[in-house]
Amino acid sequence: MNLILLGAPGAGKGTQAEIISNKLSIPSISTGNIIREAIKTGTDMGKKAQEFVNAGKLVPDDVVIGIIKERLSKDDCKNGFILDGFPRTIPQAEALDKMGVRIDKVISIEVPDEKIVERMSGRRVCENCGASYHIKYKKPLVEGKCDLCDGNLIRRKDDDPETVLERLRVYHVETKPLKDYYQKTGKLRIVEGQEEVADTTRLTLQALEN
């Protein structure tokens, strides 16, 4: 199954992408994680992307399209994949179509803006592996430590309140129009994000079946 997860930053698409990835044994591909890793290791792409990410802006389309082209060409995508955070603009969606990539379902996880701001303030990520947690909704087993690799949990730079507002603004202007784009193909399914991760997962799995 080839899936796209749409949604505002902090709507929980990353968490759902990981859960579905494990359930269906298909890779979850997060352009945000790929970009953050490139920034951390200081590659040319990372250097180009850094100022956009830190300001809560989108990285230019040609850069992310290049990332996705390369990633989707890998063998592990042959049986399906989940795109988490791509496409985020109409030109990115068109590029995917031009590449001849078949998409089966597009799940839009929806959470009201006020909730997003609250959620983002409690979000923590592992500085080592990038796994995502929340101080209220998805607590690690040991406070401040990653369940997977024992790395330290930190707040992402672009999760500070001012940058979150800019990311939300960008979502409404650039990414939300993708709902119409995929509605027209009949592949769009809306999932209302719930307080409990497991409840959102149940709705997401239901949406995949219809």
- For tokens 């985020």, the residue is 88
Residue 185 CB, nearest distance to ligand AMP (Å)?
Answer: 19
Q: Residue 182 is which amino acid? A: Y
| 87 in Cβ contact with 187 (< 8 Å) | no
Catalytic pick among 36, 119, 124, 156: 156
> Cβ-count burial of 53 within 10 angstroms (0-12 exposed, 13-18 middle, 19+ buried)?
buried
Rounded to an integer, what distance in angstroms lies between the CA atom of residue 209 and that of residue 108?
A: 15
Active site residue 36: no
Rounded to an integer, what distance in angstroms lies between the CA atom of residue 175 and that of residue 76?
A: 27
Q: Is 181 in the site for ligand AMP (CB under 6 A)?
A: no
What number of other Cβ atoms are within 10 A of residue 26's Cβ? 19
Q: In the set 59, 96, 178, 191, which binds ligand AMP (CB under 6 A)?
A: 59
Catalytic pick among 36, 123, 124, 189: 123
Q: Is 88 in the site for ligand AMP (CB under 6 A)?
A: yes
Rounded to an integer, what distance in angstroms lies between the CA atom of residue 174 and that of residue 153?
A: 30
Catalytic pick among 13, 36, 71, 105: 13
Among 73-81, 85-93, 96-104, 143-151, the segment contacting ligand AMP (CB under 6 A): 85-93
What number of other Cβ atoms are within 10 A of residue 186's Cβ? 7
Indicate the residue among 56 and 193 with the shorter CB distance to ligand AMP. Answer: 56
Among 17-25, 86-94, 111-119, 186-194, the segment contacting ligand AMP (CB under 6 A): 86-94
Q: Is 131 in the site for ligand AMP (CB under 6 A)?
A: no
Q: Is 193 in the site for ligand AMP (CB under 6 A)?
A: no
Diameter of the chain by CA atoms? 46
Strand order in the sheet with 132-134: 132-134, 123-126, 153-154
Rounded to an integer, what distance in angstroms lies between the CA atom of residue 104 and that of residue 6?
A: 14
Q: In the set 58, 93, 107, 178, which binds ligand AMP (CB under 6 A)?
A: 58
Site map 134..173 versus ligand AMP, x via CB under 6 A:
------------------------x--------x------
Q: In the set 35, 93, 109, 120, which binds ligand AMP (CB under 6 A)?
A: 35
ω before 87 within 30° of 0 (cis)?
Answer: yes
> Rule CB under 6 A: which residues touch ligand AMP?
9, 30-32, 35, 52-53, 56-59, 64, 85-88, 92, 158, 167
* Catalytic residue ranges: 13, 88, 123, 156, 167
